[in-house]
């Protein structure tokens, strides 16, 4: 199975919870692996906890990893977004058991926006389903 999730981010940096949208796609699909891929170089995917304040704290920590340098690229913010996207990564893989995401109790699948607002697309593929 293959699907796409469209995401409209609203701010320059943002954490968007995709879990329920992904769960709806895999519901009833059997066992296998759900692979998500973000085809953008200034946003990333991650599995994280959704406890109060944690998404904002993680975004703050990531932002501290991009020092104010004399970047060669014309837009320092753009370079920082590329770096953070590459650091976190463009994809996640989550097991699917009997049509349910195999996430831990507090785990959520999120898109991290580093240069919004923008329209993002996440490719979702279910592989090895029985």
Q: What is the pLDDT of residues 38-73, one digit of tens each?
A: 999 999 999 999 999 999 999 999 988 876 666 565
Tell me whether residue 16 is exposed, middle or buried, using C-beta atoms within 10 angstroms of its C-beta: 0 to 12, 13 to 18, 19 or more: buried
Cα–Cα dist 77/83, whole Å: 10
pTM: 0.91
Q: What is the pLDDT of residues 78-90, one digit of tens each?
A: 778 888 999 999 9
DSSP 53: T
User: How confident is the model at residue 38, as a pLDDT?
Assistant: 97
Cα–Cα distance list, 93 to 6, 76, 122 (Å): 18, 31, 13
Tell me whether the omega of the peptide bond preceding residue 117 falls within 30 degrees of 0, making it cis: yes
Ordered by start, the domain boundaries in the chain are 2-127
Q: What is the pLDDT of residues 12-34, one digit of tens each?
A: 999 999 999 999 999 999 899 99
CA neighbor of 124 nearest in space, from 3, 11, 24: 3
- The top-level CATH class assigned to 2-127 is mainly beta
């Amino acid at each position: 199975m293959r699907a796409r999730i469209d995401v409209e981010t609203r701010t320059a940096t943002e954490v968007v919870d995709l879990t329920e949208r992904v769960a709806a796609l895999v519901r009833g699909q059997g066992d296998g692996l759900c692979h998500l891929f973000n085809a953008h170089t200034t946003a990333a995917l991650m599995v994280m906890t959704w406890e109060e304040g944690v998404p904002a704290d993680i975004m703050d920590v990531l932002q501290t990893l991009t020092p104010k340098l004399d970047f060669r690229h014309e837009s320092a913010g753009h370079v920082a977004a590329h770096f953070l996207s590459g650091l976190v990564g463009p994809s996640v893989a989550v097991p699917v058991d009997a049509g349910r995401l195999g996430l831990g109790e507090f785990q959520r699948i999120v898109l991290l926006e580093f240069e919004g607002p923008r329209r993002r697309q996440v490719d979702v593929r279910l592989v090895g389903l029985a």
